[in-house]
Amino acid sequence: MIPVTPAAATGCHNPTDEGVIVTVTAQPAVTAERETRLLASVPTGLLINGEWRDAASGKTFDVEDPATGKVLLSIADAGPEDGAAALDAAAAAQESWAKVPPRERGEILRRAFDLVTERAEDFALLMTLEMGKPLAEARGEVTYGAEFLRWFSEEAVRAFGRYSVSPDGKSRLLVTKKPVGPCLLITPWNFPLAMATRKIAPAVAAGCTMVLKSANLTPLTSQLFAAVMQEAGLPAGVLNVIPTSTAGATTGPLIKDSRLRKLSFTGSTEVGRRLLADASENVLRTSMELGGNAPFLVFEDADLDAAVTGAMAAKLRNMGEACTAANRFIVHESVAGEFAEKFAAKMKGMTTARGTEPESKVGPLIDAKSRDKVHELVSDAVAGGAKAVLGGGPVEGPGYFYQPTILSGVAEGTRILSEEIFGPVAPIITFSSEDEAVRLANNTEYGLVAYVFTKDINRGIRMGERLETGMLGLNAGVISNAAAPFGGVKQSGLGREGGLEGIEEYLYTQYIGIADPYAG
């Protein structure tokens, strides 16, 4: 058992490993034998109606370790026929599942929380193997991901409605909440556990059945998690899991099927936009957690050491492969030089290595395509006049590693300021007035999160009012929390996950008008 600081229970995690959020005080060696044993415990089939089975086509696809390129496991590759079978199971289970008392649904989630927590080391290692993040960070994700199970186990019994007398006194208004019905959940590869639990837990709490299409690059964590949900007592057909290498072909027919009632998607804005168009055909309820381009504002009165600590977390968490990653450092011109120096001094110590290695602070990027895109953005910025204060290129050798990089003097209009970097690269630009900072920060089609560092509380509140984002970190570089509503505005998406709002995404409101109980 690895001792972690109590602060880890908040579910946030900080790659700087300085005890700010997570401190891992012992690092057991990860042996090849332990990896093999863990992989052998991961189900490799599709989960349909409570049974693990092969794909109808008999096909499988390989899951690779991004640090070595080696195949970890081959798993069943769902096709349209399997998708249809999964929706059949979800649709058949919906009515009985909705009748299960909320307390029972909550207790299944609570048992799942306990099981994930007991198996935290397995989940952490599995994520490190298939996704690349350092083990310390993967442990943080287990805490964060499990917390959605505990949070929604408590919310399951609180889907309250209301009863009232109409204003004219002549009727009664009964308002209730009901599960929306069978849902299709599509998750990304960057947080393999938390992005799944953030959808599955509120759906279970609300009484919805599901088909989960996990990310083809990181399906293994969802496979193990689905087995844990079965062990926790989730009835057959409530959660069906269809990993696939053909996402569009397998899920497209489900989105068109009139039995499906909701699509919850986390991924890129590009794919989300297309799925929204598809979902409009049957006017599906949708939740869209899409891309980001977070501004990180450092004002002249900020505590620069705190800003650098926040910057390390906001940039290097998950190797920069987070929708919440600070994408543009917008720093007051009077402190930009000092900020860049201090930031570079901290980033310099961030060793790139396979996530299972004790010294690893920055793991590999997910694949060659992602690493090449990061380098393309850096090269474009440098060609436009930016200077690499640190790093600036891929790491030689096996795996898709990229050097932690800081760019200063990035010109406005450069691609790196408008596209999601999804890598450990921090471009810095400067401003001279609050109005200019706000203009630069809002100059993007995204609106997920912003970070503001200032000692002036009034300025902090003004930024909350002026910045066009769904979330704001005030003197904080990581604000993700199962108890908070996570989500964006503009092209960062629709809806909220977590918090009191999270379960509402899986409920609809029904109003029953009742005739005057005193009449005739």
Ligand X SMILES: NC(=O)c1ccc[n+]([C@@H]2O[C@H](COP(=O)([O-])OP(=O)(O)OC[C@H]3O[C@@H](n4cnc5c(N)ncnc54)[C@H](O)[C@@H]3O)[C@@H](O)[C@H]2O)c1
| Binding stretches for ligand O=CCCC(=O)O (CB under 6 A) | 190-191, 194, 322-324, 480, 486
Cα(462)–Cα(267) distance, integer angstroms: 30
Among ligand O=CCCC(=O)O, ligand X, none, the one that 480 touches (CB under a kind-dependent 5 to 8 A) is ligand O=CCCC(=O)O
**Across the strands, what pairs with 515?**
171
In the region spanning residues 13 to 72, those forming contacts with ligand X, defined by CB under 6 A, are: none
User: Can residue 251 be called a binding residue for ligand X (CB under 6 A)?
Assistant: yes
What is the SS3 assignment for 9?
A: helix
Cα(312)–Cα(467) distance, integer angstroms: 22
Q: Answer for the pair 194, 145: CB distance below 8 angstroms, yes or no.
A: yes
Q: Tell which residue, 437, 436, 388, has the closest CA to residue 410.
A: 388
Closest-approach residue to ligand X (CB): 267
Residue of 83, 493, 495, 498 that binds ligand X (CB under 6 A): 493
Residue of 143, 187, 223, 454 that binds ligand X (CB under 6 A): 187
Per residue, what are the HEC states of 194-205?
HHHHHHHHHHHH
Cβ nearer to ligand O=CCCC(=O)O, comparing 261 with 328? 328
**Radius of gyration of the chain from Cα atoms?**
23
What is the SS3 assignment for 321?
A: coil
Phi, psi of 127 (to 5 degrees): -65, -40
The answer to whether residue 359 is catalytic is no
Cβ nearer to ligand O=CCCC(=O)O, comparing 210 with 482? 482
Cα(101)–Cα(84) distance, integer angstroms: 28
In the region spanning residues 364 to 403, those forming contacts with ligand X, defined by CB under 6 A, are: none
Residue 66 CB, nearest approach to ligand O=CCCC(=O)O (Å): 16
Residue of 8, 186, 313, 347 that binds ligand X (CB under 6 A): 186
Residue of 8, 67, 247, 304 that binds ligand X (CB under 6 A): 247
Listing DSSP states for 111-152 in one string gives HHHHHHHHTHHHHHHHHHHHH---HHHHHHHHHHHHHHHHHH
Residue of 11, 15, 181, 188 that binds ligand X (CB under 6 A): 188
Cβ nearer to ligand X, comparing 156 with 215? 215
What is the SS3 assignment for 450?
A: strand
* H-run or E-run covering 262: strand 262-266
Here the tokens at position 304 are 């620069």
Residue of 11, 79, 192, 291 that binds ligand X (CB under 6 A): 291
Among ligand O=CCCC(=O)O, ligand X, none, the one that 454 touches (CB under a kind-dependent 5 to 8 A) is none
Closest-approach residue to ligand O=CCCC(=O)O (CB): 480
| Part of the chain binding ligand X (CB under 6 A), chosen from 59-67, 233-241, 262-270, 345-353 | 262-270
| Part of the chain binding ligand X (CB under 6 A), chosen from 20-28, 164-172, 245-253, 328-336 | 245-253
Cβ nearer to ligand O=CCCC(=O)O, comparing 121 with 321? 321
User: Can residue 266 be called a binding residue for ligand X (CB under 6 A)?
Assistant: yes
Cα(290)–Cα(270) distance, integer angstroms: 9
Cα(134)–Cα(352) distance, integer angstroms: 9
Residues of 44-83 as b/e, b for ≥16 C-beta within 10 angstroms? bbbbbbeebeebbeebbbebbbbbeeeebbebbbbbbebb
Among ligand O=CCCC(=O)O, ligand X, none, the one that 248 touches (CB under a kind-dependent 5 to 8 A) is ligand X
Cβ nearer to ligand X, comparing 78 with 116? 78
Here the tokens at position 103 are 């307390």
In a 13 Å sphere around the CA of 487, the CA atoms on its Cβ side amount to: 23
Residue 4 CB, nearest approach to ligand O=CCCC(=O)O (Å): 18
Residue of 22, 47, 279, 323 that binds ligand X (CB under 6 A): 323
Cα(450)–Cα(456) distance, integer angstroms: 17
In the region spanning residues 434 to 463, those forming contacts with ligand X, defined by CB under 6 A, are: 448
Q: Which of 121, 147, 289, 321 is catalytic?
A: 289
Among ligand O=CCCC(=O)O, ligand X, none, the one that 247 touches (CB under a kind-dependent 5 to 8 A) is ligand X
Q: Answer for the pair 203, 186: CB distance below 8 angstroms, yes or no.
A: no
Residue 8 CB, nearest approach to ligand O=CCCC(=O)O (Å): 15
Neighbouring C-beta atoms of residue 248, cutoff 10 Å: 12
Q: Looking at the annotation, which residues are catalytic? A: 289
Which residues form the interface with ligand X (CB under 6 A)? 186-190, 195, 213, 215-216, 247-248, 251, 266-268, 271, 275, 289-292, 323, 420, 448, 488, 493
